């Protein structure tokens, strides 16, 4: 039996006196979508950023396939940075803001990582980028600049850019939170398509109905802990914990 693609154990993280993660544990199988929900400040984004070492927990272990980092035993200096870089290379990150280079075309934005960070040839990177842009519905925008795109289109370029690195895991940090409401659907549709294609996804989102339809597992966080986890039909459709029920009622039935 193979190990899960993602393994997280005992994550603890503080910012000053504020302990934002209090011992987070979960696993995710290859080809599944894991969705993190919960109130603001619950630790969702900190968990996500710990998966690729953009945050450095004080304690805990993160493993993606055969790469594993024990943050409590992380060496100082160059050796520690090398361990974090190796973990980071396993995933592609899609941020809340699009973070595109404004002076470069859509195509140039997508090939930047493969060419500069992975030393792949420009010809190979361009060929892959055109396939990915077609996949996210932007094949006709390859020569456009970010300022010529809508927010939803820019976020779809961000998704193509993450996929261009050929990651083992794709991480989404509230990918629709900066978008106008009418643009949310086009980005969620692309993520749904990725889930159906067998990518391994971890998504932080407030879009509960999206989580219900896409997630293989839902983690509900509150106060730096996973209060409830399981299939979306259970956590969202029939939550066991009173705290989960109160959160979902506030989100889904604010009146």
Whether 173 and 206 map to the same domain: the answer is: yes
Say what the pLDDT of residue 99 is. Answer: 84
Query: Is 192 a domain residue?
Result: yes
Q: Identify the CATH number of the domain in which residue 59 sits.
A: 3.40.50.300
For 57-73, what is the mean pLDDT?
96
Domain that holds residue 120: 101-166
Say what the pLDDT of residue 101 is. Answer: 94
Domain boundary among 113, 145, 166: 166
Query: Is 209 a domain residue?
Result: yes
User: What distance separates the 2 farthest-apart alpha carbons in the chain?
Assistant: 55
For 79-87, what is the mean pLDDT?
95
Query: Is 96 a domain residue?
Result: no
Query: Is 1 a domain residue?
Result: no
For 141-164, what is the mean pLDDT?
96
Whether 246 and 175 map to the same domain: the answer is: yes
Whether 118 and 148 map to the same domain: the answer is: yes
Whether 38 and 109 map to the same domain: the answer is: no
Q: Helix or strand or coil: residue 251?
A: helix
User: Would you say residue 96 has pLDDT above 90?
Assistant: no
What is the token pair recorded at 11?
A: 């994550």
Beta carbons of 126 and 164 less than 8 angstroms apart: no
CB atoms under 10 Å from CB of 187, counted, come to 25
pTM over 0.85: yes
Whether 28 and 84 map to the same domain: the answer is: yes
Whether 235 and 184 map to the same domain: the answer is: yes
Whether 45 and 28 map to the same domain: the answer is: yes
User: Would you say residue 177 has pLDDT above 90?
Assistant: no
Whether 179 and 81 map to the same domain: the answer is: yes
Beta carbons of 232 and 217 less than 8 angstroms apart: yes
Domain boundary among 139, 166, 193: 166
Whether 70 and 115 map to the same domain: the answer is: no
Query: Is 221 a domain residue?
Result: yes
Query: Is 95 a domain residue?
Result: no
User: Would you say residue 184 has pLDDT above 90?
Assistant: no
Say what the pLDDT of residue 194 is. Answer: 93
Residue 176 burial (10 A CB sphere; 0-12, 13-18, 19+) = buried
Whether 70 and 125 map to the same domain: the answer is: no
Query: Is 24 a domain residue?
Result: yes
Say what the pLDDT of residue 2 is. Answer: 67
Whether 123 and 142 map to the same domain: the answer is: yes
User: Would you say residue 191 has pLDDT above 80?
Assistant: yes
pLDDT (tens digit, 9 = 90+) per residue, 202-234? Answer: 999 999 989 998 999 999 999 999 999 999 999
What's the Rg (C-alpha) of the chain? 18
Whether 186 and 71 map to the same domain: the answer is: yes
Contacts of 130 (CB under 8 A, 6+ apart): 107, 139, 142
When the pLDDT of each residue in the chain is averaged and rounded to a whole number, the result is: 94
* Eight-state DSSP code of residue 58: S
pLDDT tier, 200 (very low <50, low <70, confident <90, very high otherwise) = very high
Task: Give the chain's domain count.
Answer: 2
Query: Is 210 a domain residue?
Result: yes
pLDDT tier, 134 (very low <50, low <70, confident <90, very high otherwise) = very high
Say what the pLDDT of residue 97 is. Answer: 81
Domain boundary among 166, 181, 211: 166
């Amino acid at each position: 039996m193979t190990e899960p693609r993602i393994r997280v154990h005992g994550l603890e993280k503080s910012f000053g006196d504020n302990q934002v993660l209090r011992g987070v544990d979960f696993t995710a199988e290859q080809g599944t979508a894991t969705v993190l929900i919960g109130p603001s400040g619950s630790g969702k984004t900190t968990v996500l950023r710990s998966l690729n070492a953009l945050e450095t927990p004080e304690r805990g272990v993160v493993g993606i396939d055969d790469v594993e980092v024990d943050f409590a035993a992380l060496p100082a200096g160059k050796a520690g940075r090398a361990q974090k870089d190796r973990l980071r290379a396993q995933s592609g990150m899609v941020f809340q803001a699009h973070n595109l280079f404004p002076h470069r075309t859509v195509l140039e934005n997508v090939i930047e990582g493969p060419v500069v960070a992975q030393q792949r040839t420009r010809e190979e990177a361009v060929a892959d980028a055109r396939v990915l842009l077609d996949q996210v519905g932007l094949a006709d925008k390859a020569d456009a600049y970010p300022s010529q795109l809508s927010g939803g289109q820019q976020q779809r370029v961000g998704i193509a850019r993450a996929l261009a690195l050929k990651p083992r895991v794709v991480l989404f940090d509230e990918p629709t939170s900066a978008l106008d409401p009418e643009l949310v659907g086009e980005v969620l549709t692309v993520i749904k398509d990725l889930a159906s294609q067998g990518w391994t996804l971890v998504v932080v989102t407030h879009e509960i109905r999206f989580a219900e339809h896409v997630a293989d597992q839902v983690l509900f966080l509150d106060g730096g802990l996973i209060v409830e986890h399981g299939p979306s039909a259970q956590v969202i459709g029939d939550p066991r914990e009173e705290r989960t029920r109160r959160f979902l009622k506030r989100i889904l039935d604010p009146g």
